[in-house]
Amino acid sequence: MLLEINNLHFSHTKEKTLFQNFNLKLGEGKTIALAGESGCGKSTLLSLIYGLLNWEEGEITFEGKKLMGPKGNLVPGEAEMKFVAQNFDLMPYATVAENVGKFISNINFAKKKETVNELLDVVGLSEFANVLPKNLSGGQQQRVAIARALSVLPKLLLLDEPFSHLDFARKIELREKLFRYVKDKNISLIISTHELQDIIPWLDQIVILENGRLIQNDNAEETYKTPYNIYVAKLFGEVNIFSETEKSEFGISNFAYYPHQIKVADHGFDAEVSESRFAGNHYWNKIISKGKEIIIHTDKVLEGSLKITF
């Protein structure tokens, strides 16, 4: 096991406990998402793993070695890890290429240059190699920091909301190249995110946090198809939630149905279309059935009366 967290206790203040008897195990070469609403503890957990915060009780073990946190390290952080947080800590008067190559030895300069160019391609910044960070956007600076972290081939890479500063087109480009690169290099990756639906295809495991508690820890398919509770289901985007009474009325077993899971059919429950709007690759529809508003996705506009099935 690459990383183990056992009985961890951490408090921001005496009055505010975040983690209490927290336990987590992460395997080698895996891509793991930390997910949950803002304030659930994602960024704090990454800081604890990397050794930027002291914890009160428990232990964090990396490759069988107990980590000590700031109280045990003269230099903050852990040698075999890299952490890209929300502040990117770039060298302001060095170029993008120089920032990316900061931790790479100059002994074989040709090899260093080749590695820097490869990493700039991974993060989509090849044309900005000679630009200073101050002339980059926040999203571009973030990508420089990611490339620099990858340059030392860490055994564990920790990324805190790495796509938060990116527009949609850049996000698509970066996520595929990034996830492929870490997999090819056998780098374990823990990525905190509030946009689970955007990275599901590349995840081996999803860890759901709520106010410092571990709510669910499964593979991506299990988490999506069988969310533990309403909190988990809502992390994947728009979802229809059914109470116990509503489940009984519709004769359904699940409490959560995503819009694409409810179908228009020849036979089923009567429904009336309230709204039908074009949403790109589908139509977004609000329908009323048994007095309940339900959102469904279809490939054509809806109107009038219809029937639905689950």
Q: How far apart are the first and last CA of the chain?
A: 40
pLDDT over threshold 90, residue 44: yes
For 245, phi then psi, to 5°, come to -65, -45
Specify whether the CB–CB gap between 86 and 161 falls below 8 A. yes
Report the C-alpha gap between 143 and 178 in whole angstroms: 10
Specify whether the CB–CB gap between 300 and 279 falls below 8 A. no
- What pTM does this model have? 0.91
pLDDT over threshold 90, residue 274: yes
Categorize the per-residue pLDDT at 229 as very low, low, confident or very high, splitting at 50, 70 and 90. very high
Report the C-alpha gap between 73 and 195 in whole angstroms: 34
Categorize the per-residue pLDDT at 87 as very low, low, confident or very high, splitting at 50, 70 and 90. confident
Q: What is the largest CA-CA distance in the chain?
A: 73
Categorize the per-residue pLDDT at 281 as very low, low, confident or very high, splitting at 50, 70 and 90. very high
Q: At what angle do helices 138-150 and 109-122 cross, to 10 degrees?
A: 130
Report the C-alpha gap between 230 and 234 in whole angstroms: 6
Beta sheet of 269-278, edge-to-edge order: 263-265, 305-309, 269-278, 283-289, 292-298
Q: Kindly state the average pLDDT of the residues 48-69.
A: 93
CB-neighbour burial class of residue 32 (10 A; exposed 0-12, middle 13-18, buried 19+): buried
Q: Which residue has the higher pLDDT, 100 or 88?
A: 100
Give 185's contacts (C-beta < 8 A, 6+ positions apart).
150, 153
Specify whether the CB–CB gap between 77 and 32 falls below 8 A. no
The pLDDT assigned to 234 comes to 96
pLDDT over threshold 90, residue 17: no
